[in-house]
Amino acid sequence: MMMSKLATIFLFLLIVGIALTVFGQDIERHLQEAYFEVGKADYIKEWLVLGPFFPNNLEKDFLSDIGGEANVNPKAGDTVTTADGRTLTWKRYQSQTEVVDLLDAVGRYDYATAYAFCLLQTETAFDAKITLRSDDGITIWLEGIQVYSYPTWRPLSADSDTFVTHLQAGTNRCLVKVSDLTYPLDLAMRVEMRVERLLSPERAVLLGTINDESGQPIPYAVLRLEENGKDIAQTQTDVEGNYCLSVYPVRGPYDLSVTAGELGAWQLDLHLREQENQRLDLTLKEAISLSGAVLASDNTPQVSVPVHAIALDEREGGDKGKLKIIVTALTAENGQYRFINLKPGLYQILCKLPGGEISPLSWSKVEATPLSLDARESESIILPIEHGTTLKNIDFRFVPFKKRTPKADESPTAPPLPTTIPPLRPLLEAQTYTARGGANAMQSAIADAQGYTWFSTSEPSWTHFYRFDGKRFTVIDNTIGSGVKSSARDAEGKVWIAGQNGVVRLWNGEVEKHYTVPDGLPSNAVIDLQADKHKGIWVMTTGGISYIHKENGDDKMSLVVDATRLNLSGIEIDSAGSVWWWATGPLDVTTTVHRLLKTSRGISEALKIQLPFRTVTASAVGEGLLVQGENLPFIYYRSDGVGYALDRRLFRYFATDKKDRLYFAAEAEDEQMQIIRDAPDSEGDFGYPGSPN
């Protein structure tokens, strides 16, 4: 009897022990992983996050050393070693809002990439609708299959992307990869039950597969749904060529375009019904709609000239509005341009040259003047675009502009000026160059010792790089990626350009050297660079600061600052050759300023200043550094660390002259200009307008 009771008690304790062990293991497992139960009417707020990786490249598999992005299944605490030797750790991150701030999780960096991972849990298998937002580009894998990608820059907006994918019963591995151009790096994502249950009375879904002519699926094809010429939805195909577009509210009719490289297709006059799932499979064919060249009268190709395609049957603001430019193409180095997958219809092709002239068009021996954008009716030749047909040799030719000679009775002097403004010299000659509808966002401009001027222009997702010899612009193969950050000219007259893919040195009109991580850079994402008087270049990247210089005739790169745990902000070199650099604290509310000295014995730190604010702008002035915090006065720090504060807070722009005097442009009520010396005088005063220089 007693033995029976003891056996019963032992069995009970054994069962309890096993249960507690399993329960404890389950708790530990949940602490190591991030779960989301599909069916909750909420965004996914709990993730395992990893980063930052550099640069902001969605195509690069940063997890290849641990099996690749398709096979990842991390636990909290797992580590990854980056290509530049940093160790990153998967860590649990809980967002308090629907938007997940990945920079808050991994650190605040520009041109960064981060991963977020979770397990989607469901009791049954079904097709689910995923709605998401991101800033900027994003790629998503489910169970190792890439199901979505949006590779370009964009701001975070309301539920902008929707697609349908299949979830298996149990857990589904979900990996999200987000890249950014500049702050922020945000993600908002939710998963909802099967589409049929979610369709409101005013919503429809268009889905299908995109194939090539051989029947093979086309991944990452871009689909755009238009209504009356206006884009209302956009998505990409997944790796298996599948797509899904959610339309709300349903009106129509719609036009659907699909483009992948030089392939394309259109589906016109598409009708959708409310609460409908309509399937539409399309086959893409070669879709070069129109091609030609922009040439001078002597057949010299014109580079980076914008050519516009104007739809004659689409106007801004209705039938009486202005004609609408559908797309703009820039000519290549051989002067050639082309348009891919234009919507079938009637078009006018327009080319504007630097002087603002509209060049004549030659096509099939017919000459005409392209109509202006303000025209109400067609005044010249009309080009019919049909799908599957290519119009070739649509060439623009023009006579080079001649300089205008002033007439004898024209005065070369400027008109009278108010007496309060100093007299101005007459403007002898000037020429304005723009892309005329192309990439007009200038990033940098610098001249080298050989007479070349180097320009970089950028849009959110690309960069054009040019060389100008005084007459012609030449497009240079861009090896430094988008987002040109800085440029400098060294003591030898060579030009250095920094971007998100390292640093290039330019000489003799060409790229002489391209420096990246394999050459010694701590990261390819460059924040800034500066040239010193020793023929050296200081390169600040998100991973640290390197110094490039000549040693025994060869290039040598030294790591000066390891910034694995720092948020580097900027670097400057003062007139004495001291190198100032600064970094913000982990909460982005403090700044640490450092001054480095380079001597024959090496590089050493001479000064360190801790500031109780985040520096928003800084500039080397004389033998010191001028800094300003958010809504705070300027503070000038001498080389010995002594600081002097100005009582004004509204200065925004400044520049120094040869005497190291600093000129301020103020956004103050009186809008006065203020001047200070490179350092206070013997009495501690700054120089002001009218004071002795």
- Concatenating the DSSP letter of every residue in 100-124 gives EEHHHHH---SS-EEEEEEEEEESS
CA distance 466 to 477: 9
Q: Is the pLDDT of residue 115 over 90?
A: yes
Average pLDDT for 414-426: 38
Q: CA-CA distances (angstroms) from residue 456 to 441, 510, 527?
A: 9, 14, 16
What are the C-alpha distances in Å from 196 to residues 3, 142, 237, 278, 391?
62, 21, 21, 12, 44
What confidence score (pLDDT) does residue 488 get?
A: 84
| The predicted structure's pLDDT at residue 563 | 76
The C-alpha atoms of residue 88 and residue 106 are separated, in whole angstroms, by 9
Extended beta strands in 622-669, E state: 624-629, 634-638, 643-645, 651-656, 662-666
Whole-number Å distance between alpha carbons of 397 and 302: 10
Strands 602-611 and 591-599: antiparallel
Q: Which of 86-90, 194-198, 271-275 has the lowest mean pLDDT?
A: 194-198
Half-sphere CA count of 560, side-chain side, radius 13 A: 26
From 269, 272, 267, 270, select the one nearest 247 (Cα to Cα): 272
Q: Does residue 402 surpass a pLDDT of 50?
A: no
Whether the per-residue pLDDT at 306 is higher than 50: the answer is yes
* 644 CB-near residues (< 8 Å, 6+ apart): 635, 636, 638, 680, 684, 686
Q: Beta strand 544-551 with 537-541: parallel, antiparallel or unpaired? A: antiparallel
602: Cα within 13 Å, side-chain hemisphere: 5
Instruction: State mean pLDDT over 307-320.
Output: 67
- Which range is least confidently modeled, 146-155, 284-293, 492-501? 146-155
pLDDT tens, residue by residue, 463-519: 556 777 777 777 665 555 555 667 888 888 888 888 777 888 887 767 788 888 888
pLDDT of residue 90: 93
Q: Is residue 267 predicted with pLDDT exceeding 60? A: yes
What fold is seen in the domain 287-398?
Answer: Immunoglobulin-like (2.60.40)
Average pLDDT over residues 386-409: 66
pLDDT digits (tens, 9 = 90+) for 362-388: 333 223 333 333 332 223 456 788 877
Which amino acid makes up residue 264? Answer: G
pLDDT at 47 over 80: yes
More confident residue, 6 or 279: 279
The winner for highest mean pLDDT among 7-16, 139-148, 420-429 is 139-148
Per cent of the chain over pLDDT 90 is 11
- Mean pLDDT in residue range 177-192: 77
Residue 344, preceding peptide bond in cis (omega within 30° of 0): no
Across the range 58-62, mean pLDDT stands at 84
Q: Over 90: is that where the pLDDT of 63 sits?
A: yes
Give me the mean pLDDT over the 80-108 stretch: 85
In the CATH scheme, what is the code of domain 491-498+507-676? 2.130.10.10
**More confidently predicted of 152 and 446:** 446
- pLDDT at 408 > cutoff 70: no
pLDDT over 90 (residue 136): no
Q: Where in the sequence of the chain do the CATH 2.60.120.380 domains occur?
A: 29-194
Mean pLDDT of 121-142: 83
pLDDT recorded at residue 281: 93
Return the H-helix or E-strand segment holding 2: helix 2-32
**14-18, 242-246, 390-394: segment of lowest average pLDDT:** 14-18
d(CA 507, CA 530): 17
Residue 438 has pLDDT above 80, yes or no: no
Q: Which amino acid is at 272?
A: L
Residue 174: per-residue pLDDT? 94
The answer to whether 130 touches 244, Cβ cutoff 8 Å, is no
Q: Where in the chain is the domain with CATH 2.130.10.10?
A: 491-498+507-676
Cβ-in-10-Å burial (0-12, 13-18, 19+) of 335 comes to: buried
Give me the pLDDT at residue 565, please.
65
Given this model, what pLDDT does residue 450 score? 66
Give the start-end residues of each E strand in 336-424. Answer: 336-340, 345-351, 361-363, 366-368, 383-385, 395-398
What's the whole-number mean pLDDT along residues 570-596?
83
Residue 95 has pLDDT above 70, yes or no: yes
Highest mean pLDDT among 85-89, 349-353, 424-428: 85-89
Residue 27 above 60 pLDDT? no
Out of 28-37, 74-83, 681-690, which region has the weakest mean confidence (pLDDT)?
A: 681-690
Residues 6+ apart with CB under 8 A from 411: none
Place of tokens 């007299």: 423
More confident call, 150 vs 370: 150
Q: What is the pLDDT of residue 599?
A: 77
Q: Of residues 558 and 553, which shows the higher confidence score?
A: 558
DSSP state for residue 403 in the 8-state scheme = P
Q: Is the pLDDT of residue 620 over 80?
A: yes
pLDDT of residue 579: 92
Question: Bigger pLDDT: 421 or 319?
Answer: 319
- Give the mean model confidence (pLDDT) for residues 137-149: 85
Region 576-590: what's the mean pLDDT? 79
Indicate the CATH number of 29-194 among 3.40.50.150, 2.60.120.380, 3.60.150.10, 3.90.1150.10. 2.60.120.380
Is pLDDT of 405 > 90? no
Residue 55 pLDDT level (bands cut at 50, 70, 90): confident
Overall average pLDDT of the 229-258 stretch: 83
Interior angle at CA 55, CA 533 and CA 188, nearest 5: 135
Task: Check residues 405 and 67 and name the one with the higher pLDDT.
Answer: 67
Residue 577 — very low, low, confident or very high, per pLDDT cuts 50/70/90?
confident
List the one residue out of 41, 344, 353 whose CA is nearest residue 197: 41
CATH 2.60.40.10 residue window(s) in the chain: 199-285
Give the lowest-confidence range in 58-62, 74-78, 547-551, 634-638. 634-638
* Cβ neighbour number for residue 641 with a 10 Å cutoff: 13
Average per-residue pLDDT for the chain: 73
What pLDDT sits at residue 378? 28
Instruction: Enumerate the CATH 2.60.40.1120 domain ranges in the chain, comma separated.
Output: 287-398
Q: Which numeric CATH code is attached to 199-285?
A: 2.60.40.10
Output the pLDDT for position 255: 92
pLDDT reading at 175 higher than 90:
yes
14 Ramachandran zone, left/alpha/beta (phi>0; psi -120 to 50): alpha
CB contact set of 473 (below 8 Å; sequence gap of 6+)? 303, 304, 433, 455, 466, 467
Is the pLDDT score of 290 beyond 80?
yes
